[in-house]
Amino acid sequence: MLPTGIVGLEAQLWVFLVAMIRPGAAFLAAPVFGAQNVPIQVRLIISLAVGIPAISQVPFDLPPDGIATVAGFTLVAGEVVTGLALGFAVQLGYAAAMMAGEVIGNSMGLGFAQMVDPQSGASSTALGQFLSILGTFLFLAMNGHLALIQVIVDSYRSLPPGHAWMGQGQIQDILMFGGDMFAAGMAIALPVGFALILVQVVMAMLARSAPAMNLFSVGMPATILAGVILLAVAAPAIGEGISTSIERGLDLARSLVTAKGG
């Protein structure tokens, strides 16, 4: 519980610091919150606004000898690991959109068009950037940011500070979910990617039947045009696939705070 009075001011500040660790770590690893263009001050304010009410709902006392002890370091490490696991679970679901964009962009021949991803700061294809922005819109439209905050608040009941450690089963769930999201990204890109492969096969057949034709001047525009048309046709299916992947990431985060440690 929160200490009161002038005497407990230092202890209260330490409680505030501990309360910010788990939400801060989750927001650092989660999509949207963890974007590089989000100021660090905004993350700190949101972490404090989420952490103080959350830690107030469970019995909590600082280590008797302070934070700079073995018990204190264990407490901080558990908070960091739990927060990162919750945010990373949602990030894995969000990453399916980026992977689908990379696959489709390379199939369209746009792999050379690189842009800086505002989420991670790394370079990605233009189409991967487009699907990443689409995933951000869908994440916010389905109230994924509010669902993540709710998961963080609920985690304090099942994993109170000082006892917040991921079990072997929970870590295995995260690893297996990463493989599932790899398959989900491929499934999202499959309709457009497979059709583009057929277009490239047709262009190869034309190049064999008409060797005098300049394949590079015809094949690249035809592939890009076919890709744009296919993206417009498959947009509902792509949006549904991205939404499903994000929802599965949120479901995994909820299961992490309710599952028993292994």
Q: What pLDDT is recorded for position 122?
A: 61
Measured CA distances, 89 to 74, 146, 260 (Å) = 22, 15, 17
Under 8 Å between Cβ of 63 and 230 = no
Distance of CA 41 to the CA centre of its chain: 21
Angle 180-184-189 from CA coordinates, rounded to 5°: 155
* Rounded Cα–Cα distance for residues 253 and 60 (Å): 23
**Which three-class secondary structure state does DSSP give residue 123?**
strand
Q: What pLDDT is recorded for position 243?
A: 92
Q: Which helix (H) or strand (E) segment is 46 a member of?
A: helix 40-56
C-alpha dihedral, 79 to 82 to 86 to 92, nearest 10°:
120
pTM: 0.79
Helix 144-158, helix 126-141: angle, nearest 10:
70
Residue type, position 62, single letter: L
The DSSP code sequence of 7-33 is TTHHHHHHHHHHHHHHHHHHHHHSTTT
Residue with tokens 């917040």: 164
Q: What is the pLDDT along the chain (262 residues), one digit of tens a residue?
A: 555 555 566 677 778 888 888 899 999 888 888 877 888 888 889 998 998 888 888 887 777 777 777 777 888 888 898 899 999 999 999 888 888 888 888 877 776 666 655 555 566 677 878 888 888 899 999 998 999 999 999 888 888 887 777 777 888 888 888 888 888 888 888 888 888 888 878 877 877 777 766 666 677 777 888 888 888 888 889 999 999 999 999 999 998 888 644 3
* Rounded Cα–Cα distance for residues 146 and 150 (Å): 6
Q: What pLDDT is recorded for position 148?
A: 92
